Structure 1
């Protein structure tokens, strides 16, 4: 499965609404919008809290794997990029859960992208510079490859119909309406264009922010980021970097959610980056796949470890 059927009504959380609770009184006339507003309030407050405490990224699972085509036997099937079950938080603070493994058929995707002529723009020499150091360890890196990213996106799926009054210019006695929405997901494999050594197209580190040049020089910004990442750095410098990350960490926009560096223009800005894929190609033609293994980088994403995992990691 690669996509889910989406509900036609946009999720009100995409507008990042301010907290506004419906207030009821005896004898007040209520309609469906009042109950929707009630849900929106509780959902948005939970999402804001989860987004602020944890950020966006992978909570558990969601390991991405390449599965070669198998011609015969009980495991026969086409070549796939498989995303294992797991849980993530998107950039609006919504939970996205894959209750079971899902897959994208790689050759079908390749043929479709080749027909759109988008593979040439995602073709790079020495593509190892675009993946994490852990993904490079112990593997043979291709000399030339198409770079693509796996994104996970929140969608709402209609789950049932129940009798309701007809809406719009209709006169019907058997009208029905959706009675349940299931929080579901979409998977996208997106070719990455215009990557450079300084613009890797990967998510920012937690707590990363930028200040105007009149408030902080580039050298000061690098030193602050280095202090955040170095446990052996000066304690006062690390404390100051942490305080600055909190003081500059509030983000809310009344308009469209700003894109992160990992989001190309065709991808929903709320989607979660979960893996980078290198697909080897022939040196003479980026639309022709080479025989090397497809490499999946699971380690460039943002991880959101639970408190139990963090406690064990710190020795508590």
Structure 2
């Protein structure tokens, strides 16, 4: 079926409306699985220090930030993108606070087996839940998380081929058609609701709890808090650089041993592996403590 076929677009909208009716916020996707609407700020030169618009301007084209469960809003999104052949479901949003576990099966990667090994090692059982089969034969497992836990997106951090779709990410919805094929519900998934994420698995994918500092009401923030926030604000491509800079400043000011674990935890929360974060902090320590 050609991607320009009106029937494909009509089916994509129908599937998206059905998902929205179940409380799942949706956006239209192109055949490449990317958001179908181009950013209205694509040609704008970003102002120094300006925060990235997340839809506050009122225009469409802000990716997952456009996601909605309102039927009229869904229709408006698809009317603006008549070339859409699928839909994405925003993760981390109420009422489901969806978490996606993306299991890759390409080549020699067997993420399904890797997840089973993790379950045995950390003593959790994956409950029956909504499962979507991808065109390549992979699996997307849908789980729900608690409303007070922000699960970050990650790629192969748990094990090769296991990606996590959390807050700020999205899952390709079943019924979507892409350049590589269609996404479909696995047998037994129709009518099923996403199951709660096992606590042990949630502990593996959620950011580590930050150390709590007791301070007097309205008192000054604990020493080094600014360095932690500096690391937490890192975007992809600057995580290691920010972590290294913050760790150097910490060691130069005699706070290295105190802040090391918090800096590592903050870096892991942004998407670095713990091994990478520890290596970066160790490099900063060696550099700043040389005689």
Task: Assess same fold via TM > 0.5.
Answer: no
Greater RCO, 1 or 2 (C-alpha within 8 Å, sep 6+) = 1
Q: Which has a greater percent of helix? A: 2
* Bigger radius of gyration among the two: 1
**What TM-score results when the alignment is normalised by the length of structure 2?**
0.20
